[in-house]
Amino acid sequence: MALKRLDNIGIVVDDLELTIDFFQELGLHLEGRATIDGEWAGRVTGLADQRVEIAMMRTPDGHSRLELSRFLTPSVVADHRNAPVNALGYLRVMFAVDNIDETLDRLRKRGAQLVGEVVQYQDSYRLCYIRGPEGLLIGLAQELN
């Protein structure tokens, strides 16, 4: 049996509304929201008494999703949001955009901050990292023609 696709990337947040608004401004669509709890959910995650609010965000092409989660119980136990780009583990999510400058202008109004600078890689891409809501590290890539 072959791998079919990347289904979603999960991001734990504290302010679900703020994060939904930010990713909608970026261009993702809110697919749905739910509260997840119950014995079955705890068996999957190993957190016996979990209660989590989730929002599923879909990219415009319909192929990728972000699952934003806000844990009601148990409490969050670690915070990796301010880890530098050379930290071990999952780091960031990167989005392809049409116009990196226009995207940055829109996202700055939602609190995004440029991590380094916008750079050009050969004649292929313009790239940057930003800190979005709650310090989440997000990459933006504009393919050059």
For residue 29 the two structure tokens come to 């669509």
Backbone angles phi, psi at 34, to 5 degrees: -160, 160
Q: How many domains is the chain partitioned into structurally?
A: 2
pTM over 0.85: yes
Domain coverage including residue 30 = 9-73
Instruction: Per-residue pLDDT tens, the chain, 145 aa: give them.
Output: 687 788 899 999 999 999 999 999 999 999 999 998 888 888 888 888 889 999 999 999 999 999 999 999 888 888 887 777 788 777 789 999 999 999 999 999 999 999 999 999 999 999 999 999 988 989 999 999 8
CA 128 vs CA 82, 84, 85, 94: distances in Å: 17, 14, 12, 9
Q: Which amino acid is at 135?
A: G
Looking at 43, 73, 103, the residue that finishes a domain is 73
Asked if residue 51 belongs to a domain, the reply is: yes
Q: What CATH code is carried by the domain that includes residue 127? A: 3.10.180.10
Phi, psi of 106 (to 5 degrees): -65, -45
